[in-house]
Amino acid sequence: MTSIVPPSPSPPTPPADAATPVLELDQVRKVYAGTPPVEPVRGVTLTITGGELVAMVGPSGSGKTTLLHLMAALDRPTSGVVRVAGQSLGALSDRRLAGLRAHRLGVVFQQFFLLEHVSALDNVATGLLYRGIRGTERRRLARQALERVGLGHRLGHRPAALSGGEQQRVAIARALAGHPQVVLADEPTGNLDSAATAELVALLLQQLNRQGVTLVVVTHDPLVAGAMTRQVQLRDGQVVADSGGRYP
Amino acid sequence: MSRMTSASPATPRSRLRPGDLLPVGTVGLRARRLRAGLSALGVAIGIAAIVAVLGITRSSQAELLAQIDRLGTDLLTVTSGRSLEGQEAELPSRASGMLGRIDGVRQVAPTAQLAGVNVYRSDKVPAFQTGALAVRACDPALLATLDGRVRHGTFLNPATARYPTTVLGYQAATTLGIATLGQPTRVWLGGHWFTVVGILDPLPLAPELDRSALVGFPVAGRLLGYQGHPSRIYVRTTTDSTTTVSSLLARTADPQHPEQVQASRPSDALTARVAAKRATTGLFLGLGAVALLVGGIGIANVMVIGVLERRSEIGLRRALGATRGHVAGQFVVESLLLATLGGVAGVAAGAAIAASVADRQRWPVQVPAVAVWGGLAAALAVGVVAGLYPAMRAARLAPTDALRSV
């Protein structure tokens, strides 16, 4: 007996399997040309498996954000190998890299980066724009995502009409709407007060646990770092401490 | 290290639905409406200028061509050069009768400019104030041959042609200060009082008659020294024999000196004016093109600024899965939309301007289709060209730089 399955907008995310590495970094270096050349990442080897919640901590200039950008497939390493969902970034075309970002990864930024003149619903729907999903379907998924983060009553609001915490929740909904494999967050609570931070962390963990999503968060906030299952400490572009180890 | 990871399912490519390109391209425009409007205005002015010039030219040409059609291209005139004093020279007295016998000639109307005869409003006017008006003797058939119309009164007829009566050309009546014929009006013509019986409408094909006072041949011979030699003969031919007749006129009118006779076609002068209008259009079209170019530069300028201001949006879109091509496409579409907006507004404004000008001049309103489509196509081309460079800059921006810049 054959069952007819309606075409799904994108192949389902492979189930989070503790044994499957979703992010692999092997002797990764990143050098920016200049005088003198800047080398924010100097040989990082790190494996993150499905469902892990990883905090990357370290002083300013320790290479956290550069490392996050490499994991987000926004940049290619100068040397070494970065594998996202099993695919090595160095070998991928711009189009394939973009596909990886659109289908496998979700991003959250300190500055939220919401489109000012667009409603919360459409902001979240924009997160699915480059998957080639139909507009009505994008908006349906966006509404679900906003309802999950508790903003079902603010669908039509523009970002300016929302509080900082609400704006970041919209950004989280945008990152999660497409059920990515990995969410990468760069100082997500950097612009929030402590109450909003606590609320946001609780929400993030609840959502991620429900979906089995892997999270890598760059943070200065001990409260955020402490809520994660693994802490990786960076200094001068190298890993100096890792609570999880390579094979937890 | 596990080799199994290489077997993970291939990630689908990033894809932007073509239908989404348009809304994405309007994000920037909706955010900055005033700026978008102003930059579209530049293109609109250029396109409006081009469409208006083409429309006005076409309408006035249509009017001229309609005029030529109404007047007919089958009218020919025969003259015998000019004497040293600038008067029309004499043709043989038999010329008129000979011309009438050419195959294809429908009507012949001889006229004779009377040398040394002038017309004045009264006998008190000094003799040198001729007003540059001529006195011509003519046949009652003249009006029918020229297809002319009488504005006031009547034309000469075989009876009035024998008495001191005159019909004034349109300009001659104006110069003499005679507007209507409500009461009996006389003019001092060649030393005699002549009664004005009619005033003509302008005759575009025989402008020399507009500045003339017309009298009959009999009275001209009796009172004004007319010797029986016509100086200018109007010939109306059948439509398809005009060219043939034209080539026979000189030899027929004056077999002894055909080289002194000039045969011309008055409608040619009007046709030449159509061509002349076409020539002056080029200048205005050039000005419109310059305006369009400036408008295009305005759009490019606004787009470049937009790319600089929207670095973080570009970075975000790349992070959400946009390829370089998607980002470039977004900015090209935006530029294209701006220019199209300007183009549509410009075509509408240009057509409205052309229509109102033509309407005021009582010309038939005609906006050539090529101006409408050409205007829109030019706007689209400007949009693409103006958008390409900013789009390339946006696409080339490294996502990490774009995200860091805030």
Which of residues B240, B266, B292 is at a domain's end?
A: B266
> Is residue B96 a part of any domain in this protein?
yes
Give the C-alpha separation, A182 to A177, whole Å.
12
Number of domains in chain A: 1
Closest CB from B9, B14, B20 relative to A95 = B14
Closest CB from A14, A102, A132 relative to B320 = A102
The mean pLDDT value for B210-234 works out to: 91
Q: Return the residue of B nearest to A76 by Cα.
A: B400
- Between these two residues, B109 and B2, which has the higher pLDDT value? B109
* Predicted confidence (pLDDT) per residue in B335-358, tens digit: 999 999 999 999 999 999 999 999
pLDDT of the residue at B97: 86
The mean pLDDT value for B183-193 works out to: 91
For B28, the domain range is: 20-67+271-404
How do A79-84 and B262-264 pair as beta strands? Answer: unpaired
pLDDT of the residue at A119: 95
Q: Express as a percent the part of chain B with pLDDT over 70.
A: 96
Number of domains in chain B: 2
Q: Mean pLDDT score of chain B, rounded to an integer?
A: 87
B403/A95 touch (CB, cutoff 8 Å), yes or no: no
| CB < 8 Å to A96, chain B | 11, 13
| CB < 8 Å to B329, chain A | none
Let me know whether B275 and B244 are in one domain: no
Can you spell out the DSSP letters for chain A?
--PPPPPPSSPPPPP--TTSEEEEEEEEEEEE-SSSPEEEEEEEEEEEETT-EEEEE--TTSSHHHHHHHHTTSS--SEEEEEETTEEGGG--HHHHHHHHHHHEEEEETT----TTS-HHHHHHHTTTTBT--HHHHHHHHHHHHHHTT-TT-TT--GGGS-HHHHHHHHHHHHHTT--SEEEEESTTTTS-HHHHHHHHHHHHHHHHHHT-EEEEE-S-HHHHHTSSEEEEEETTEEEEESS-S--
For A221, the domain range is: 50-76+95-242
Let me know whether B62 and B84 are in one domain: no
> Is residue B4 a part of any domain in this protein?
no
The mean pLDDT value for B131-159 works out to: 91
Let me know whether B95 and B213 are in one domain: yes
Q: Which of residues 28-47 of B touch A (CB under 8 A)?
A: 30-31
Its ipTM equals 0.89
> Is residue B10 a part of any domain in this protein?
no
Which of residues B238, B266, B294 is at a domain's end?
A: B266
Let me know whether B129 and B253 are in one domain: yes
> Is residue A167 a part of any domain in this protein?
yes
> Is residue B14 a part of any domain in this protein?
no
Helix A135-148 and helix B18-31: axis angle, to 10°? 60
Inform me whether the C-beta atom of residue B290 falls under 8 Å from chain A C-beta atoms. no
- Between these two residues, B14 and B4, which has the higher pLDDT value? B14
Does pLDDT of B332 surpass 80?
yes
Q: Return the residue of A nearest to B31 by Cα.
A: A117
Closest CB from A72, A85, A111 relative to B319 = A72
Let me know whether B205 and B127 are in one domain: yes
- Between these two residues, B293 and A248, which has the higher pLDDT value? B293
Let me know whether B246 and B322 are in one domain: no
Does pLDDT of B222 surpass 80?
yes
pLDDT of the residue at A246: 45
> Is residue B15 a part of any domain in this protein?
no
Give the C-alpha separation, A196 to A149, whole Å.
13
> Is residue B336 a part of any domain in this protein?
yes
Does pLDDT of B4 surpass 80?
no
Let me know whether B246 and B105 are in one domain: yes
Give the C-alpha separation, B299 to B39, whole Å.
5
Does pLDDT of B243 surpass 90?
no
pLDDT of the residue at B239: 76
Does pLDDT of B83 surpass 70?
no
* Predicted confidence (pLDDT) per residue in A199-237, tens digit: 999 998 888 887 789 999 999 999 999 999 999 999 999
Residues of chain A with pLDDT under 70: 1-19, 245-248
Domain CATH number, residue A119 = 3.40.50.300
Chain A residues whose C-beta sits inside 8 Å of any chain B C-beta: 10-11, 14, 20-21, 24, 26, 65-66, 69, 72, 74-75, 83, 85-87, 94-96, 98-104, 107, 109, 111, 113, 115-118, 126-127, 129-135, 174
> Is residue B242 a part of any domain in this protein?
yes
pLDDT of the residue at B85: 60
Let me know whether B277 and B310 are in one domain: yes
Let me know whether B242 and B117 are in one domain: yes
Q: Per the structure block, which two tokens stand in for B110? A: 């001889």
pLDDT of the residue at B64: 80
